């Protein structure tokens, strides 16, 4: 087992023992009950990147208090129900629901009989995702409940992967790349689910500059791989800051806007080079698609026709001349599913900054936002 991973097991029958158990992982914590009877079983997996505690407890009005949370805490109710108060907000948590305790917040969690999981995320992975130094993280947490049930469910599934498959398999967790990627994935879901940001990037007064720089960087790499983190760096903001600026001003995620720009350029190339014998496969490869079928699917979804139809129209309406090799009507065979979401809702790739090739992006809403061209 890796040296940084510790497994702690506590059993307690009073508030003093339960408080000792919680302070081993949360620092400032206090457990109390209305009456003296209490059962407390806690298993904690402690690591430099994240700490997970599984708690099974019952008693008369069990109360867990945390003052000035040193780390970001996510509470997941596995059985029973609980009431969470954090940062002046209140939330009732039923089974399979999650809630947030922001860094620096005072919090109180109450229940009578429940099985809970507590995830403690330190500043380091948050700072890495938000693109700010760890020592200067000023976290803005506008809510303590997930912004959508889907993201709440995604957190639970990612957390299950961490606790059962990664923490539970030392030979897997001992690998630095796997460990870091898994912790970052869970942290990214928390950032998205609870709409976390750094206070410095909440204001919209720099949006125009950020978007202008970002789009210039995108246009400069339409035929080359480029990642969302690289675009954010060129724009002078974090990945999250870039995402918020695009959604505020253009209503679309940066990665999906990059795809739109590439499709625009591909369409222009098809029109300009139609008489030169260009093929759909040539255009697809030029603008980052290894798979011309996927390019045709995205193209048809964006413009309402297959790229082969664009070529044929430019070469002459009603022309019966055979299409050049590679310009077959492969997209005519593809049934495009209705687009999901609204306003180009971000997918998981946009939060993590993964995705360099356009063919790895997910679907977006029809059309190009005003000012995006």
DSSP 138-182: -EE---SS-SSHHHHHHHHHHHHIIIIIITT-HHHHTSHHHHHHH
The string of pLDDT tens digits covering residues 208-234 is 898 999 999 999 999 998 988 889 889
Inter-axis angle of helices 176-193 and 149-160, nearest 10: 160
* Cβ-based burial of 1 (10 A; exposed 0-12, middle 13-18, buried ≥19): exposed
The string of pLDDT tens digits covering residues 133-165 is 666 677 888 999 999 999 999 999 999 888 876
What's the confidence (pLDDT) of residue 197?
A: 79
Q: With contact defined as beta carbons under 8 Å apart, do 280 and 312 qualify?
A: no
CA distance 168 to 185: 17
Q: What are the phi and psi torsion angles at 353 (to 5°)?
A: 80, 10
Which residue carries 């009431």 as its tokens? 83
Query: What does pLDDT average to over the chain?
Result: 80
Instruction: Read off the pTM.
Output: 0.67
Which residue carries 């029809």 as its tokens? 366
Q: What is the mean pLDDT of residues 229-258?
A: 87
Task: Flag whether pLDDT at 324 surpasses 60.
Answer: no
List, as own/partner pairs, every contact residues 36-40 make where C-beta atoms lie below 8 angstroms and the sequence separation is at least 24, other chains included. 38/12, 38/13, 38/14, 38/62, 39/12, 39/13, 40/10, 40/11, 40/12, 40/13
Confidence of residue 4 (pLDDT cuts 50, 70, 90): low
DSSP-based three-state secondary structure for 96: coil
Which comes out higher in pLDDT, residue 145 or 321? 145
Task: Flag whether pLDDT at 132 surpasses 70.
Answer: no
What's the confidence (pLDDT) of residue 47?
A: 79
Q: With contact defined as beta carbons under 8 Å apart, do 50 and 22 qualify?
A: no
Which comes out higher in pLDDT, residue 171 or 17? 17
Q: What percent of the chain has pLDDT over 90?
A: 46
Cα–Cα distances in angstroms (integers) from residue 180 to residues 136, 141, 176, 250, in the given order: 21, 24, 6, 32
């Amino acid at each position: 087992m890796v040296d940084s991973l510790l497994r702690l097991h506590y059993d307690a029958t009073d508030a003093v023992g339960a408080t000792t158990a919680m302070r081993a992982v949360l620092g400032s914590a206090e457990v109390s009950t209305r009456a003296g009877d209490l059962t407390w079983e806690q298993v904690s997996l402690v690591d430099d990147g994240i700490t997970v505690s599984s708690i099974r407890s019952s008693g008369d009005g069990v109360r867990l208090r945390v003052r000035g949370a040193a780390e970001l805490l996510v509470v997941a109710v596995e059985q029973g129900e609980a009431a969470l108060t954090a940062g002046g907000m209140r939330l009732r948590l039923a089974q399979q629901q999650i809630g947030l305790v922001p860094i620096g917040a005072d919090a109180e969690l109450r229940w009578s009989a429940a099985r809970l999981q507590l995830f403690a995320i330190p500043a380091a992975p948050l700072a890495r995702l938000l693109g700010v130094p760890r020592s200067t993280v000023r976290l803005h947490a506008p809510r303590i409940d997930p912004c959508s049930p889907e993201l709440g469910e995604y957190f639970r599934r990612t957390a299950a992967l961490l606790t059962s498959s990664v923490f539970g398999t030392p030979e897997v967790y001992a690998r630095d790349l796997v460990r870091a990627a898994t912790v970052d994935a869970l942290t990214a879901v928390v950032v998205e689910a609870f709409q976390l940001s750094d206070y410095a990037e909440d204001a919209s007064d720099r949006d125009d500059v950020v978007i202008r720089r970002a789009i210039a960087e995108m246009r400069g790499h339409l035929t080359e791989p480029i990642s969302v983190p690289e675009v954010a760096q060129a724009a002078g903001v974090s990945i999250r800051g870039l995402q918020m600026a695009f959604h505020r001003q253009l209503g679309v995620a940066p990665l999906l806007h990059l795809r739109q720009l590439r499709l625009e350029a591909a369409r222009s190339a098809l029109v300009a080079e139609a008489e030169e014998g260009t093929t759909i496969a040539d255009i697809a490869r030029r603008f980052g698609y290894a798979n011309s079928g996927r390019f045709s699917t995205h193209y048809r979804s964006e413009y309402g026709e297959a790229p082969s139809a664009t070529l044929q129209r430019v070469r002459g309406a009603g022309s019966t001349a055979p299409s050049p090799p590679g310009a077959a009507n492969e997209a005519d065979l593809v049934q495009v599913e209705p687009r999901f979401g609204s306003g180009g809702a971000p997918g998981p790739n946009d939060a993590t900054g993964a995705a360099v090739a356009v063919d790895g992006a997910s679907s977006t809403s029809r059309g190009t936002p005003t000012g995006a061209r």
